[in-house]
Structure 1
Amino acid sequence: MFRRRRPLPPFPSGGLLVGGAARDWLRGESPKDYDWAVPEPVGAARTMADALGGSAFPLDEERGYWRVHLPGEVHHDFVPLPADVNQDLLRRDFTVNALAITEDRQVLDPSNGRADVKARQLRMVSAANLRADPLRAWRAGRLEITLGFRLEPGTEGEVRAVAAELAGGTLKMPATERIRDEVHALLLHPNAAHGLKRLEDLGLLALTLPELREGIGLQQGGFHHLDVFEHGLEALHQLLARLPDAPLPLRWAALLHDVGKPRSHTVDPDTGLTHFYGHDKLGAALTTQMLGRLKLPGDDIRHAARLVEAHMVPLPAGEKEARRFVHRRRDLLPDLLWVMLADREAARGPSSSDASRHAYAVAMGRVLEALEDRPAQPRPLLTGADVMALLDIPPGPRVGEVMRALDEGVALGEVMDEAQARTFVRAWAEHNTDRR
């Protein structure tokens, strides 16, 4: 049964609501974005922008594609009305997207997509259409999760075939940025972990994040009850269960925090114990490589990689150590705690216990208290020029060492004012004379 349909905005003159927006309206959902096919895209876009207080701008002037941004991050796209609407719809990816709504609420449905919407089924319009744009294979996996639909068996078979043809080089890979956008749309969904596993089932993860797959079947023991691959997915799930609005770099860090384990895996020949020495640093390097390949913004890549590198840092055992923890990793907090918590909650192996979980929670509480006590970095008590004059040294790395030591002393509450700062600097320099 369809839910009661939501009201639609005023139709542009002679326009049709098409694609995903039509599908969502038929499902009883308010479309997040609206796609319109209209006789005059420029005029229609400007008219809507003026009427609703938005801004109109071209997406592709040569092809006549325009967009209107409205308050609340809703946007409306306008494309030229095709000469044959039904034929245009039949060139689309899935039947549930090959729909159009007229101003009088008539449904144009040349591929029986309305029945598939009702059945919550994702069915291709044709196998040729999937191959005409292989990105549609990734979209199939993403729409299964975001719509809660299920791939029809014949369509699933063709998606797997497209993945195999891409892997074999008989089909050309889509642009990296387009793949990234589909993966991000999946990652932003609450059930992202299941979606990534579905990409693996369909043969698409190997084309997207092959390094992540290296953990399939690699058992860890100890605190862990899942292999490395499943553990990463579970950590992402645990993060989103606790922080549904987690930003993308944090989601990536939770997913990839152990991506370095397969390549750092060793077994002690005497004890038979499994080790992953250095997997944090290797994982940070792999995260940088993987997210760089997907062309994420540089700041997002660096933040995710630093979280991966820091996720094994021991939590503090006391109040002073908690203040030091906050001082040294302030720019990673609270994200680092979220990654560490997701990692811990995803591990339920034989070494895990209520007592160890409680101890972990207490240590995290110490960090949060220290962060709340000092939410911002304390004001420096001395400048670099002050240090150079006080120690009679030239500019150079040693000035930076002194300033870092002083800043930590202030953060730990060991240095309270300028006079104490000067005493601290002299004592530090005397104690470290062998490093001059």
Structure 2
Amino acid sequence: MEYVLSVLNEVNKSDDISIYVVGQYIIDRLLGISSNEIEIVIENGFIDAIDRVFQRLDFDNYTKEVRKEVVFLRNKEKNIEIRLIDLKNHVLRDHLQNRVITIDSMALPINLYNEVQHENIIDPYGGLKDLQGKKVRNNLEREDALEISNILKAVRLMSQYNFDMDGKFKDFIVENHGKIETSYSKNITDELFKILKMEKTYYYFKFLDQNLNIFQKIFPEISPMKEVGECKYHVVDVFKHSLYTMEILELIIYSDSYFEEHIRKVYKEHSKEEIALGHSRLEFIKLGAFFHDVGKPSAMKIDETGRTRFRGHEITGAEIIKDMAENLGLSIKERDLLYRLVAKHMIPLVLYKKNDVSGKTLYKMFKELGDDTLDVLLIALADIIATRKLLDPTEEMGKFKIHVEYIANNYLTRFKEVEDISHIITGKNVIKNFDLGEDVLINELIEEVRKAIYNGKIGTSKEAALKFIEGVL
């Protein structure tokens, strides 16, 4: 980050270019936090400035995204994000006013990037005072403060720095609820996923709903979730259950002692996997947990005994997720992951009810879920606990944990070992050793070998695999 700022400072020395650091970088430096995001505004000569920055930085490791007047540069390896904003015909003060939130409306001349001190900061709306008071406040009661992306940004800053929202700002949002339009934009998705990165996401989702009354503006799907859900197994509606499921999931995943140590370490690394640019698997696990029952309102039926049932809710929910993912502008890979998490979340519970964790059953589950196995197990565990704890707070929850840990151990110590058996046997080995008919599919033979090793029927040698194939043929 230091090198990036020094490059920008060099570019700033041109007579016709003025560059400022704004927003989060200043907040982080004042709070003594290491920052990996930097937002830059450029007065005059934006194109020229960008060209000069590109000439000085090695961009082999950067991805570039152009969005209206903003150029996004991201370095995955160093976890750096740079946003370069073209002020066009505006001046800095106008831009700061448009940023809406006071602590986000501070600026620093780029030549003072190493001197982030109060006296050097341009602060027209009292951001420094609010930073000291740990408050998120709007700089003026303007209608653009009611844009969902700005409200989400305010809540994201609360979650990021553990700040409170100013009471007047909160009242302003609630009182003008009717003026807030349901909409989607890339900025909304960006802020939403930043909230999902934070601990206690469930708390801020609840805050958006209960304190600001705008969550349904972001996700209209939650309105019907509040109307259904109470049945034999649930004492609260789907929305409350979903929030509680997310809370349980976060308690589990951020705990250092909940799972066996080797499982905890695997989850820690697994959840860091980047699914798309800037979005890790953890955010999708949380989102999947929150929306795991989104299909219940459309799947609800009353049977002949008068009992409420939600058969197939996981499939109807997964279809709803498709539309939601499209509205959020998610990639196909992200959409498909969310779809699978919702569509498959019942599998571990079904196995628990059937008391079936046989090798054959688990192998089939692992083949079906693949890399998403651990995610589905985690969501299912949080779902079961969130359900049972409200039904009977005294019930022993350890049995559900044991069930999930047993499946996870089988996945990690048995299935993962046979996912790739090319070091044992390959299609070439099969062709070389056997005279196969045209109707014999080599991949199916390899799959049978994989199953046999998983179930302990044969050893992990080439000879054992060839002997097994000979018996099959």
Q: Report if the CA contact (8 A) 2:138-2:145 is conserved.
A: no
Q: Work out which of the residue numbers 415, 425, 428 in structure 2 matches 1:374.
A: 415
Q: Does 1:141 align with 2:151?
A: no
Task: Report matched runs for 1:272-311 at 5 Å.
Answer: 272-311=306-345
Task: Report matched runs for 1:334-413 at 5 Å.
Answer: 334-347=374-387, 348-350=389-391, 354-355=395-396, 357-371=397-411, 372-376=413-417, 377=419, 379=421, 408=451, 411-413=454-456
Partner of 1:430: none
1:84 and 1:332, CA in 2 relative to 1: closer, same or farther beyond 3 A? closer
Task: Report matched runs for 1:88-167 at 5 Å.
Answer: 88-102=95-109, 103=112, 105=117, 106=119, 107-128=121-142, 130=144, 135-160=149-174, 163-167=177-181
Deviation at 1:190, TM superposition (A): 0.9
Q: Does 1:198 align with 2:207?
A: yes
Query: Aligned to 1:236, what secondary structure does the other structure show?
Result: helix
Query: Aligned to 2:391, what secondary structure does the other structure show?
Result: coil
Task: Report matched runs for 1:170-319 at 5 Å.
Answer: 175-201=184-210, 202-244=212-254, 246=271, 247=281, 248-270=283-305, 272-313=306-347, 314-315=351-352, 317-319=356-358
Deviations 1:57-94 (A, max 9, x none): 98669969685859622244445688854344233211
Deviation at 1:229, TM superposition (A): 0.7
The farther-off stretch of 24-33 and 44-53 is: 44-53
1:299 and 1:36, CA in 2 relative to 1: closer, same or farther beyond 3 A? closer
Deviation at 1:48, TM superposition (A): 9.8
Q: Does 1:35 align with 2:39?
A: yes
Q: Report if the CA contact (8 A) 1:382-1:421 is conserved.
A: no
Amino acid at match of 1:27: L
Task: Measure the CA separation in 2 of the matches of 1:413 and 1:311.
Answer: 28
Q: Work out which of the residue numbers 392, 417, 422 in structure 1 matches 2:465.
A: 417
Amino acid at match of 2:34: S
Deviation at 1:395, TM superposition (A): 9.0
Task: Measure the CA separation in 1 of the matches of 2:148 and 2:288.
Answer: 28
1:150 and 1:217, CA in 2 relative to 1: closer, same or farther beyond 3 A? farther
Task: Measure the CA separation in 1 of the matches of 2:76 and 2:377.
Answer: 36
The farther-off stretch of 67-76 and 105-114 is: 67-76
Q: Report if the CA contact (8 A) 1:324-1:408 is conserved.
A: no
1:91 and 1:345, CA in 2 relative to 1: closer, same or farther beyond 3 A? same
The farther-off stretch of 370-379 and 289-298 is: 370-379
CA RMSD between the two structures: 4.1
Amino acid at match of 2:373: L
Query: Aligned to 2:38, what secondary structure does the other structure show?
Result: strand
Task: Measure the CA separation in 2 of the matches of 1:361 and 1:31.
Answer: 37
Deviation at 1:375, TM superposition (A): 1.0
Query: Aligned to 1:214, what secondary structure does the other structure show?
Result: helix
Amino acid at match of 2:322: T
Partner of 2:78: 72
1:80 and 1:241, CA in 2 relative to 1: closer, same or farther beyond 3 A? same
Query: Aligned to 1:29, what secondary structure does the other structure show?
Result: coil
Percent identity among equivalent residues?
A: 17
1:405 and 1:263, CA in 2 relative to 1: closer, same or farther beyond 3 A? farther
Task: Measure the CA separation in 1 of the matches of 2:57 and 2:225.
Answer: 54
Deviation at 1:185, TM superposition (A): 1.3
Amino acid at match of 1:254: A
Structure 1 unaligned runs (5+)? 1-5, 168-172, 426-436
Deviations 1:102-160 (A, max 9, x none): 52642222222221222222222223362595532332333332232333233223333
